[in-house]
């Protein structure tokens, strides 16, 4: 549990309110893991085209999986205060969630001094954007929804799981 004093302090701000990269050199090296998810809603016809490999740009799921992995590895280039991290593992799963949505999950793991939550969230987001890009010619009404952290492990704060 985080104390009330810690809740009010944003670690990426210095005493004057300026942005800073957090110094993690004093933290213990532990196994860090994070799991994130997100959804892309679309027409049933679009989901069927994805599943059957019928889109002109190619295998949507394979490309989205690679894009998510690449995004996790490059998170520090996209999010200014993130540390560049030597990730041990990035696993992306994409599966239908009903007949109008794809569920994207990203599991990220490493041993280090800071967490991998941003890497998991970035992986999901970029995989979702890749799906949109590859399918927009047939379905511009797709929506990216529900990108969130499901769980994290490691570090001083230990384990955390989302409700529901």
Q: Catalytic residue numbers?
A: 133
Residues 97, 103, 151, 30, CA torsion sign: positive
By C-alpha distance, which of 70, 54, 144 is closest to 103?
Answer: 144
The whole-angstrom separation of Cα 141 and Cα 21 is: 38
Which residue in the block uniquely carries the two structure tokens 């944003």? 10
Query: Would you give the distance in Å from CA 64 to the centre of its chain?
Result: 12
* CA–CA dist 127, 39 (Å, integer): 10
């Amino acid at each position: 549990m985080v104390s009330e004093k810690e809740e009010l302090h944003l670690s990426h701000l210095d005493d004057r309110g300026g942005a800073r990269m957090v110094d993690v050199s004093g933290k213990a090296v532990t196994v860090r893991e994070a799991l994130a998810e997100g959804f892309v809603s679309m027409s049933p016809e679009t989901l069927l085209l994805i599943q059957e490999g019928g889109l002109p740009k190619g295998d949507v799921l394979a490309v989205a999986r690679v894009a998510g992995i690449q995004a996790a590895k490059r998170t520090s280039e996209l999010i200014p205060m993130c540390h560049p991290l030597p990730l041990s593992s990035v696993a992306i799963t994409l599966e239908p969630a009903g007949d109008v949505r794809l569920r994207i999950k990203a599991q990220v793991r490493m041993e280090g001094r800071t967490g991998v939550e941003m890497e998991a969230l970035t992986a999901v987001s970029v995989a979702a954007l890749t799906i949109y890009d590859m399918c927009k010619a047939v379905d511009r009404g797709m929506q990216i929804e529900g990108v969130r952290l499901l769980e994290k492990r490691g570090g001083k704060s230990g384990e955390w799981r989302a409700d529901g």
